[in-house]
Amino acid sequence: MNENNFLIKVKIKKTPLKGFGVYALQDIKKDDIIELSPVLPFSPDREFKEKDKSFIWNYEIDWDDSRDALGLGYLSLYNHSDDPNAKFIKNTKENYIAVISQKDIKKDDEILIKYHCPIDFKVY
């Protein structure tokens, strides 16, 4: 895992038909950290009783057995692909998600993840 300069590897820009997306500012090698994003864990029953009537449910992440979480950073801007070039790895002890490249990504390529898939439980 290469941690060098992970905070300057991406930019946000408009994406046709998807709103916004996350794009590579430089070539990114497989297994590089793209982003370490903090999350805000919450108890869905207690803190967001009305969440189904709000936008929040579109962005919540299953966090652990009793909580969901809201991702900060660029987490809610990564778009879906059935053939993603990145993945999320969550750290529930320190409340962040690492976005890791699954393959080499070229400069200006959109960084894509697979929605509704299991998230690895490896700590970075």
Question: What CATH architecture applies to the domain 6-113?
Answer: Beta Complex (2.170)
* Mean pLDDT value across residues 17-43: 92
Q: Which helix (H) or strand (E) holds 100?
A: strand 96-101
Q: Residue 115 — pLDDT band, cuts 50, 70, 90? A: confident
Give the tens place of pLDDT for each residue, 60-89: 788 888 888 888 989 889 998 989 999 999
- Confidence at residue 51, expressed as pLDDT on a 0 to 100 scale: 52
Q: Residue 96 — pLDDT band, cuts 50, 70, 90? A: very high
Among 8, 2, 5, CA closest to 24? 8
CA distances from 15 to 4, 12, 28, 55, 111 (A): 27, 9, 20, 20, 11
pTM to 2 decimals? 0.79
Residue owning tokens 């941690």:
3
Which sequence spans correspond to the domains of the chain? 6-113
